[in-house]
A and B are shown apart, each in its own frame.
Chain A
Amino acid sequence: MLPSEHTQKTEQGTSLFDRLTETVLRHFAGHTSRRGVVARLGGLAAAVPLFPLLPVSRASAATPAAGKVASKAPTPFGAKAQVKDPNACDYWRYCAIDGNLCTSCGGGVHSCPPGTAPSPTSWIGSCYNPQDGNSYMIAYRDCCGQDSCNEVTCLGTDGDQPSYRPMANNDIIWCFGTGTSEMYNCSTAAVIGKAS
């Protein structure tokens, strides 16, 4: 038997069930709008992406929006560091400084006070910046040639090793080899670059 013959045969014998189905469907079609369905589907498509924006899911992602980066500080110093006041010991660049702040002695965060000269060697550390979430390599260079300036004395120990590891120990005063005098005055903290 061919498929067309089969169709012909079933069309002839229209059952009560077929007529009932047709009536129901025609009634349904006559009372609904196709464009209404489109509008509802469109509304759904627009609403689904809105769910992640509800306050519930936004709460966990609120930190980056406030200008702070979510990445965690690698050290306790970095977690508490501030980026505003270079005259305080918790300024982010001072994570590995051991000495007097040149900023409080007439110098700057990377310049020596008048009458002193920078040491030829320095101690280098890596400090976390809480503002942008990057770590920067910082050179702590001593300023030498005047009496010790004891205005603000700080001790940051990020990456500091015991003195039997002299190359990684920041207790050492680096004034030897400076042209002027080996007297230690204060320490600067210059950014070398962004660590990757």
Chain B
Amino acid sequence: MRAALLRCVLPACVTVLALMAGAVRAHAAPDAVAGATTLSHTQSVYVSHCGGCHGIEGISGPTFVPMLRNSVGSFACTQEGRAYLVRVPGVSMSLIRDDQTLADVMNFVLITLGGSSTPPGFKPYTAAEVHTWRAHPLSGPDFMALRAHVLERSLAACAHSPNKG
């Protein structure tokens, strides 16, 4: 009688353990797209709001769309240039309405995509800066001329920067 009870209990324990192991395995479903890169939240926001034209990795190809990869940082050597990058219509009026999220995306663009063009002492954008600057979006008929002047002054500052050899 007692032995019979033990014989019942032992398989029950084994079954419980087996079912538990099965339940744990079922939670980790394999990815439907094998080998897909996992994008951070900031990267996902960049890709969905900017990456279509500027390129998934900041390389826009042979279009009128400005290249970001290893070039956007050239604007960041002056305060005016830093503000310009936030005030351009695509950034200031973008559907990324949260200032902190936009600051994160801008820092991803400058630090990760800007690469060698970004000055070594680049100070990351803060939500407060983004908030102030995006309230004054750039507009006007001489946009390309303004862009050229901002870039010229920033490139000059980059060249004189003590951080850059």
Contacts and interface: CB of A to CB of B under 8 A. Distances in A.
Interface of A: 33, 35-36, 39-40, 42-43, 46-47, 49-50, 53, 61, 64-65, 67, 69, 83, 120-126, 129, 131-134, 136-137, 139, 159, 161, 165, 167-168, 177, 179, 191-196
Given A53-B19, A165-B95, A193-B37, A137 B44 contact: yes
Given A133-B29, A192-B47, A43 B8 contact: yes
A118 to B, nearest CB: 10
B53 interface: yes
Contacts of A139: 51-52, 56
B61 interface: yes
Given A50-B12, A132-B32, A39 B5 contact: yes
Interface residues of B, number: 42
Contacts of A161: 95
A33 B2 CA distance: 10
Shortest 6 CB-CB distances between A and B: which pairs? A193-B37, A131-B32, A120-B61, A177-B63, A193-B39, A132-B32
Contacts of A131: 29, 32
A179 B62 CA distance: 9
A115 B19 CA distance: 55
B52 A132 contact: no
A137 to B, nearest CB: 5
25 contacts: A36-B2, A39-B5, A39-B6, A39-B9, A42-B9, A43-B8, A43-B9, A50-B16, A53-B19, A65-B22, A69-B29, A83-B32, A131-B29, A131-B32, A132-B32, A136-B33, A136-B36, A161-B95, A177-B63, A193-B37, A193-B38, A193-B43, A193-B44, A194-B33, A196-B44
Contacts of B27: 64
What does DSSP make chain B's interface, helix, strand, loop or mixed? Answer: helix
Given A120-B62, A121-B52, A167 B13 contact: no
Tell me whether chain A's interface is mostly helix, strand or loop, or mixed. Answer: mixed
B16 A46 contact: yes
Given A120-B63, A196-B38, A196-B41, 5 more contacts: A121-B52, A137-B44, A177-B63, A191-B36, A196-B44
Contact of B52 (A39, A43, A53, A123): A123
A137 B29 contact: no
Contacts of A42: 6, 9
Given A46-B12, A177-B64, A179-B62, A64 B26 contact: yes
Contacts of A125: 48
Contacts of A120: 60-63, 65
Contacts of B64: 177
Q: Which of A33, A36, A124, A168 has the most CB of B within 10 A?
A: A124
A66 to B, nearest CB: 9
A46 B164 CA distance: 70
A49 B9 CA distance: 12
A124 B48 contact: yes
